[in-house]
Amino acid sequence: RKPLIETVNLKKYFNTPFGLLHAVDDINLSIDKGKTLGVVGESGCGKSTLGRTILRLLPLTDGQVLFDGENILGYDKEKMRLMRQKMQMIFQDPYASLNPRKTVFQIIAEPLIVNRIYGSRNEINDRVLFLMETVGLAERFINSYSHELDGGRRQRIGIARALSMSPQFIVCDEPVSALDVSIQAQILNLLMDLQERLGLTYMFITHDLAVVKHISDEIAVLYVGQCVEKAPSKELFRNP
């Protein structure tokens, strides 16, 4: 057993006009390398906040996040920058999360340019084409604007962008919930394919039990910020 991600008594509180809101309230979980932890629970139970806090998109209130056994709270700026590249997020709504004024090339290339991974335009172009092929997006769309493409293709752009920095861990936040049912299976299959090919570790957030059963090795059930049940997928859904 080799956990890539662990949380220890993780807490994330929000200050609200009605007092402190315990959005993530003492969560202990671990995700082994190459595995998927499904996170389920009703709307508002803290799933997104948990994912964002682990990725350090939100500052935590208390507790620890361990990456490959190391407490990332102690990281300096440079180490944190590199760490951020290893952890990515795929969002529910590819319509909202992709900039409509940017082309497919610009969206996928942006992390590569910002992080100064490649020197020349040609190298970046090759990398973008490779990523498009990896997620099954035809080359002819490279200069299309994201809003010109359908939901499934947009989600492929989001996945290609998330893969651009060769991450190890990806938080998938309801990645198929906004898609037509006919497209959902394609995107789920793509995510499972990529996991196998690239050895990715996933936290898969969803409210859809059929989806989570299909994709998860282990499942955590949240209720008002707390983990009320955690079990291997097979046990949680065992036949009587």
Q: Which tokens is 179 given?
A: 């898609």
Question: Given the DSSP bridges, would you call strands 87-90 and 218-223 parallel, antiparallel or unpaired?
Answer: unpaired
Interface residue with ligand ADP, options 5, 10, 23, 40 (CB under 6 A): 23
Residues 70-109, mask of contacts with ligand ADP (x by CB under 6 A): ----------------------x-----------------
Residues 24-53, mask of contacts with ligand ADP (x by CB under 6 A): -----------------x-xxxxxxx----
Residue nearer to ligand ADP on the CB measure, 49 or 88: 49
Length of the chain: 240
The distance of closest approach from Cβ of residue 28 to ligand ADP in the complex, given in angstroms and rounded to an integer, is 17
Angle subtended at Cα 92 by Cα 218 and Cα 144, rounded to the nearest 5 degrees: 130
The distance of closest approach from Cβ of residue 25 to ligand ADP in the complex, given in angstroms and rounded to an integer, is 10
CA–CA dist 182, 119 (Å, integer) = 40
Q: Please report whether residue 223 would count as binding ligand ADP according to CB under 6 A.
A: no
Q: Tell me how crowded residue 141 is: count the other CB atoms within 10 A of its CB.
A: 18
The distance of closest approach from Cβ of residue 26 to ligand ADP in the complex, given in angstroms and rounded to an integer, is 14
Q: Which tokens is 37 given?
A: 């932890």
CA–CA dist 64, 42 (Å, integer) = 25
Q: 11, 25 in Cβ contact below 8 A?
A: yes
Q: Please report whether residue 161 would count as binding ligand ADP according to CB under 6 A.
A: no
Q: List contacts with ligand ADP (CB under 6 A).
A: 14, 16, 21, 23, 41, 43-49, 92
